Every structure is written in structure tokens, then in C-alpha cells.
Chains A and B, each alone.
Chain A
Amino acid sequence: MSEANPTKVAAKARPLSPHLSIYKPIPTMVASIVHRLTGVGLYFGMFLFAWWLFAAATNQAYFEWVNSLFGSLLGRIFLLAFSWALIHHMLGGIKHLVQDTGRAIEKNFTTTMAKWHFVASIVLTILLWFAAYAAR
């Protein structure tokens, strides 16, 4: 403390606000993180949709090869995750649009909504896959 160098004072580690790992996970917080994670997942998944379209435009042999990849076990697991992420992110988005108008922001209600959000996205994904298998 002998020399008071102002640049050194500024560079000193200052207290930070706590990071995410400090907090106990609560439903609204998990919903928020999952909304962002599903968004990031869909971002890269969209490229695979583009690839599928590209394959359909290329020729039959190439399309059938790409389609067989999506139809494989790993491909189906990916598509299951992708469809759930899409439905979950869409429901979250609709929730956000409603909340943008100042509605549905009371704390107990948002907690209940965050829990039902997961239930709804999982149920809708299962229904979608039933519909997809029933259609074949």
C-alpha cells in the first residue's frame, strides 16, 4: 500500500456478481437456460435440414443415402431431440411473446408455467412421433 498507482488499482480483481453455479436451480431459471440451449441446438440443426433439402434437390441416390442416415438409430435419436427442442423453443417463444405484453409475469405463475412447459413439450413431441409413425 506504499504506492497508489491508479492503473494498478483499476486492474485489481474486483468482486463479481455470483455465477450461475452459485444458485440453486429453480424452474424459471432452468426454463430460461433450456430455451437458450434449445435455440443453439436448433441453430445447428437447421443446417442439417438444409442438407436434407440439398440432398432432395441433388439426386435419388444421394437423397436415399442422406435419408438412411436420418432413419438410422442415431439419426432418429437426433430427430427426436431436434423435434423436442423445436417444440420446446416454440412454446417458450410464445410464452415470451405473451410476457412481452406485460402479462403472465407473476412469480408463482411463472414457476407453474415453467414446469408445465416441460410437460407440454414432451407430450407434444410424443404425439408428433405417434402421428409420424401412424402416417406410415
Chain B
Amino acid sequence: MNMRTPLGKVRGLGSAKDGTEHFWHQRLTAVANVPLVLIGLYLVVSLTGAPYSEVYQTLSSPLAAIFLFLFSFSVLSHMRLGMQVVIEDYVHGEFTKVLLVMFNTFFVMFTGALILYAIFKLSFGG
């Protein structure tokens, strides 16, 4: 049973009703992105101009799959939050704003699905 008073439940949540979650997740993913992006840069640079067999072999290793999953999850979360702020700052029409914030999520989900498919196929696709 929840013993908190109605006032206590809403305190600190603000007008968006999610408190500091957006702010905190933006920072959390920002910190995670630093090492992940550095590894990602190393990975891409090391594969520039490499033949397909080498690219395939590198990307289909378990370590690459785990890295790509973490990298994508953190980066996609971060960019979804960031784009949401940009939309909320510049789009003032309520309908357009809600629509664009929705499309933002759809775009991020689609990009994520593309990456997940690629990771699965590279790892298990034979």
C-alpha cells in the first residue's frame, strides 16, 4: 500500500509529470556515450577500406555485437532526448509539436530496429 500523500506524489514532477528523468537520462547517456563513441570511432576507422570478409568477420564477433548493442542503445536514447528538446524549443503549435515528438520516437525506433536486425544477422545469420 502506498502511504504517500497526493501532494507528496506530485512534488518535484513539474508540468511534464516526469520530474528530472529527461535531464538525468540525457546526462547518463552522455557519460556512457564518451567511451562508446571512442570505441565506435576506433572500430569504423580500423575497418575503412577493409575488404568485406574482414568487415564481416570483425562485426560478427560476440564482442562487436555486444558493443554495437550498448553503443546503439545509449546513442539512440541520447539523440531521442536531444531532438525532443529541440522540437519543444522551436515548434510552438501544440499539434505539430506532439506530432514531431512522436515522429522523433518513430525515427529513433526505426534506426534502432535497423541496427538490431544487422547485429542479429551478423551474429547468427551464418
Q: How far is the CA of A36 from the CA of B120 in the complex (A)?
A: 33
- The answer on a CB contact under 8 Å between B121 and A64 is no
- The answer on a CB contact under 8 Å between A135 and B41 is no
- The answer on a CB contact under 8 Å between A53 and B86 is no
- In the complex, which residues of chain A have a beta carbon less than 8 angstroms from the beta carbon of B100? none
- The answer on a CB contact under 8 Å between A94 and B37 is no
Of the listed stretches A2-10, A22-30, A41-49, A112-120, name the one at the interface; the rest are far from the partner chain: A41-49
- In the complex, which residues of chain A have a beta carbon less than 8 angstroms from the beta carbon of B59? 53, 56-57
Question: From residue B16, how far is it (CB to closest CB) to chain A in Å?
Answer: 20
- In the complex, which residues of chain B have a beta carbon less than 8 angstroms from the beta carbon of A54? 114-115, 117-118
Interface: A100 (CB within 8 A): yes
Question: From residue A105, how far is it (CB to closest CB) to chain B in Å?
Answer: 16
- The answer on a CB contact under 8 Å between B46 and A51 is no
- The answer on a CB contact under 8 Å between A36 and B118 is no
A-side interface mostly: helix
- Please pick, from A43, A63, A93, the residue contacting B30 in the complex, using a CB distance under 8 A: A93
Interface size class of B (residues with CB under 8 A): 20 to 34
- The answer on a CB contact under 8 Å between B114 and A53 is yes
- In the complex, which residues of chain A have a beta carbon less than 8 angstroms from the beta carbon of B68? 53
Interface residues, chain B, CB within 8 Å of chain A?
Answer: 27, 30-31, 33-34, 37, 41, 45-46, 48-49, 52, 55-56, 59, 68, 72, 75-76, 79, 82-83, 86, 107, 111-112, 114-115, 117-119, 121-122, 125
Pairs A–B under 8 Å by Cβ, sample size 29: A39-B83, A39-B86, A40-B83, A43-B82, A43-B83, A46-B76, A46-B111, A47-B111, A47-B114, A50-B111, A53-B59, A54-B114, A54-B115, A54-B118, A56-B59, A57-B59, A57-B125, A60-B52, A63-B55, A83-B41, A86-B37, A90-B33, A90-B37, A93-B34, A97-B31, A100-B27, A128-B45, A135-B45, A135-B48
